[in-house]
Amino acid sequence: MTFSENDTIQIENHGLTIDKVNEQVKLITSGMSYSNLKEAATVGNGILNIENQKESHYIQLFERKKNELSMVKFVPASGAATRMFKFLFQFLNSYNSKEETLEDYIKRMDNVNVQTFVNNLEKLPCFEEVVHKIHKVIPNYNDLSYGERCIEFVKTMLDDDRLNYSFYPKGLLPFHRYKDYVATAFEEHLFEAAYYASSNNKANLHFTISEVHHNKFQEELNHIQEEIENETGISFNISFSYQKSTTDTIALTQDKEIYKEQDGSILFRPSGHGALLENLNDLDYDIVFIKNIDNVVVKKHHQTISNYKKVLAGVLLEAQEQTFKFLHLLEKGDIDEKDIDRITEFMTNKLNIVIATDFETASLESKIFYVREKLNRPIRVCGMVKNEGEPGGGPFWVEDNKGAVSLQIVESAQIDSTIESQISLLQNATHFNPVDLVCGVKNYRGEAFDLTKYVDQDAAFITSKTQAGTDISALELPGLWNGSMAYWNSIFVEVPLITFNPVKTVNDLLKPAHQMS
């Protein structure tokens, strides 16, 4: 690509380089590199099932060691909650209360989402706030027809001159209603962290947010922090960061030209959650818990949830301890073939590392180099829940273009939909990843890994979008728990469905895990 002087200035002001932009162009034009699934990971074949007595072992292991560790809970929390209310925006656009009743509209449209929503208004955590606002805006609200009242209820939630919920980040919306107050997802994450992500009576949480929402998050923190600290006996260190502009990507038109705005400036787009690897890499902790902002539950489930987080952390610490012992042994030298056998057995059985086919015939020196390089990597322990049709990345054994097989989390978008055998493996997978990770990000010497060195750059996503009426091909970086962790050592553990309670639409807040009664 050739760039004008103005292009070059804009690229450099964005923290990028011409070479970096040309790399992005090359990735888009060469087409997406799909994963080559060999088989789905299942219990006993890549997924660990932990029996009850072993759960207690791992919880106790974590409890014994936690005060020696620095820990942080890392919560991706950027973006507005617009998609939560998509079906309600469609409802406002398609329903005319003067032409038909709400019942007739729902029947004609066969709209289960609207039916569920209007039938359960009083169970919504925002109900009282919405009703209070309605009566301020529409004094004769009670005189309206049922259909009109429902329209005004939804408009009060969404209109920018009323409550404007769709502008808010998901973490700051009313999520759970208790007897005396309503809690946000942001608040629930603090309470949860007190249970399992705290050591020495202190909990560190890091939220990646949009800069436009920073003040609102800070206001909420100022409002809730003292009360939560008094209730839990835990002091909180809360930090925020934004997705870095240096991770933004360009887009191409159908003519393979860089898409530009009407004023001639290059369009730079946020590059997906893979960009957050940079934010994760900036943190300096021994252990990192990763969990999405919307995957929280009401307080009565916090203890159950926290036990499974402790199990995952215990599994990590046990694997890490043995890994570090072997790495210290390898560093000292004086290694023989029996030592190599013990190490490779651990690599295979505990870290799910598939040993190269030519390993057995290699020299002892080559074997030592190989096992050391494979062991000295970040470790992640990922919860996996049984697949019940929810969207999410799945656990698979994947073969790369050099024939090496490894355990990976793969999104459906990474799978070539034109290859029947690949789609069949996807559809018959038994488990999926609910973004439930515990990560060991320091090496056996206590030094932080540079996480950017363990990314499969070929696992980038290329998506088709429309920008101002123009079809574009946009680039997203390898997903944070997909390609961005491709060269980590991975342990997958089966966890129960209670640990997975995402809120993708407002109706999800009606599910039992989000209701006190």
Residue-level pLDDT at 434: 87
Residue-level pLDDT at 326: 98
Q: CB under 8 Å to 380, separation ≥6 — which residues?
A: 316, 437, 438, 439, 440, 481, 485, 488, 489, 490, 491
Residue-level pLDDT at 486: 97
CA-closest candidate to residue 58, choices 454, 383, 387:
383
Rounded CA-CA distance 382/399 in Å is 20
Rounded CA-CA distance 27/460 in Å is 8
Q: 3-state secondary structure string, 17-50?
A: CHHHHHHHHHHHHHCCCCCCEEEECEECEEEECC
**Collapsed DSSP state (helix, strand, coil) of residue 124:** coil
Rounded CA-CA distance 293/467 in Å is 28
Residue-level pLDDT at 390: 64
Residues facing residue 487 across a β-bridge: none
pTM of the complete model: 0.96
Residue-level pLDDT at 427: 87
Residue-level pLDDT at 2: 87
b/e code 227-240 from CB counts within 10 Å (16+ = b): ebbeebebebebeb
Rounded CA-CA distance 154/416 in Å is 40
Rounded CA-CA distance 186/167 in Å is 16
Residue-level pLDDT at 84: 96
pLDDT in tens, the chain (517 residues): 889 999 999 999 999 999 999 999 999 999 889 999 999 999 999 999 999 889 999 999 999 999 999 999 999 998 789 999 999 999 999 999 999 999 999 999 999 999 999 999 999 999 999 999 999 999 999 999 999 999 999 999 999 999 999 999 999 999 999 999 999 999 999 999 999 999 999 999 999 999 999 999 999 999 999 999 999 999 999 999 999 999 999 999 999 999 999 999 999 999 999 999 999 999 999 999 999 999 999 999 999 999 999 999 999 999 999 999 999 999 998 899 999 999 999 999 999 999 999 999 999 999 999 999 999 999 999 999 998 776 567 999 999 989 999 999 999 889 999 999 999 998 889 999 889 999 999 999 999 999 999 999 999 999 999 999 999 999 999 999 999 999 999 999 999 999 999 999 999 999 999 999 8
Residues facing residue 339 across a β-bridge: none
> Hey, what amino acid is at 165?
Y
Judged on CB neighbours under 10 Å (0-12, 13-18, 19+), 132 is: exposed
First to last CA, the chain: 60
Pairing between β-strand 405-410 and β-strand 431-432 as defined by DSSP bridges: unpaired
Residue pair 213/169 in contact (Cβ under 8 Å)? The answer is yes
Residue-level pLDDT at 392: 61
